[in-house]
Amino acid sequence: MVRLKLLGQALSLLVLISPPLADADVLDDILDRGTIRVGVAEFTPWTIRTKSGELIGFEIDVAKKIASDMGVKPEFTVYEWEKIIPALQQGEIDVIAGGMAITPGRALKVNFSRPLATSGITLATNTSKTQNITKLEHLNDERVIITVVADTLALSVAQTFFDQANIKVYPTSDLAEKDVLEARAHAYVATVPEINFLALKNAGIIDVPMTEPIMASSEGLAVKKGEQELVNFLNAWVIARQTDKWLGTARDYWFTTMDWVPEARK
């Protein structure tokens, strides 16, 4: 009886001092179920919904390539931008692939992969609404309306550089762009590719007054905090696809050509 008691005490002590078994990484779950759940938000040309409802764009191609290299299928969910990080934190998705700028604040909420690409924040102006504005600083005025999408790097840039202006925050880029296109707002602050494409589509209505971005940024894939094995895979994937030029080629197709426009109209 004494020996059994001592054995029981020893086992209890072993349980107390032994480290808990680590939870399975989400990478194992992805491989087991055969799908990777990808969260995206509609920002041209990262993610575009065609007239038929299909999703296309740079981040869609990236997610499909990641899935293919994993040997699984991608499963996409479209979110309003401010809801995409909470969706990741709650386990609704495995990765965010939406042109997310890497910032210290976001790094407190998610784990980022190595940068996929560099970009920046700039602004588009309504030509008729700003025809008498000759200097950028003149936009920093309480009479000036500037639109931006919620919870984006562009929002913090707008609040910093145009702190005197009337900043209107929208849940989607479509709504933010519409106010500028229809002359209800003077300017729209967003990523360089989005601004350039908006101007290209609306020549004569939209102008891009700046030759350099207001602020440069790097974009990465985001996963839930603590999912190190998935981060390791994504980092290796980024390195491999930058080395073999796949990422550069895909980026050039979506950001420097208009070859994909007919596909978006289908």
Residue 237 and residue 111 share a domain: yes
pLDDT at 20 over 90: no
The span from the CA of 64 to the CA of 252, in Å, is 17
pLDDT at 261 over 90: no
Residue 227 and residue 96 share a domain: yes
**Structural element, H or E, at residue 190:** strand 187-191
The span from the CA of 221 to the CA of 237, in Å, is 11
Residue 175 and residue 49 share a domain: no
Closest CA to 118 of 217, 191, 22: 217
| Residue 18 covered by a domain | no
Residue 42 and residue 70 share a domain: yes
pLDDT at 95 over 90: yes
Residue 150 and residue 29 share a domain: no
Residue 257 is predicted with a pLDDT of 84
Residue 170 and residue 130 share a domain: yes
| Residue 17 covered by a domain | no
| Residue 109 covered by a domain | yes
205: number of CA atoms within 13 Å, CB side? 17
Residue 224 and residue 159 share a domain: no
pLDDT digits (tens, 9 = 90+) for 167-182: 999 999 999 999 999 9
| Residue 8 covered by a domain | no
Peptide bond into 115 cis (omega under 30): no
Residue 162 and residue 100 share a domain: no
pLDDT at 137 over 50: yes
| Residue 14 covered by a domain | no
Residue 186 and residue 141 share a domain: yes
Residue 101 and residue 65 share a domain: yes
What does pTM read for this prediction?
Answer: 0.78
| Residue 159 covered by a domain | yes
pLDDT digits (tens, 9 = 90+) for 185-241: 999 999 998 998 899 889 899 999 988 899 998 999 999 999 999 999 999 999 999
Q: Measure the CA dihedral 131/135/141/146, to 10°.
A: 60
Residue 89 and residue 50 share a domain: yes
Residue 223 and residue 109 share a domain: yes
pLDDT at 129 over 60: yes
Enumerate the β-bridge partners of residue 78. 40
Helix axis angle, 246-256 relative to 228-243, nearest 10°? 80
Range of the domain at 198: 119-216
Strand 95-101 relative to strand 35-40: parallel, antiparallel, unpaired?
parallel
Q: State the CATH number of the domain containing residue 151.
A: 3.40.190.10
Residue 262 is predicted with a pLDDT of 87
Quote the number of domains for the chain.
2
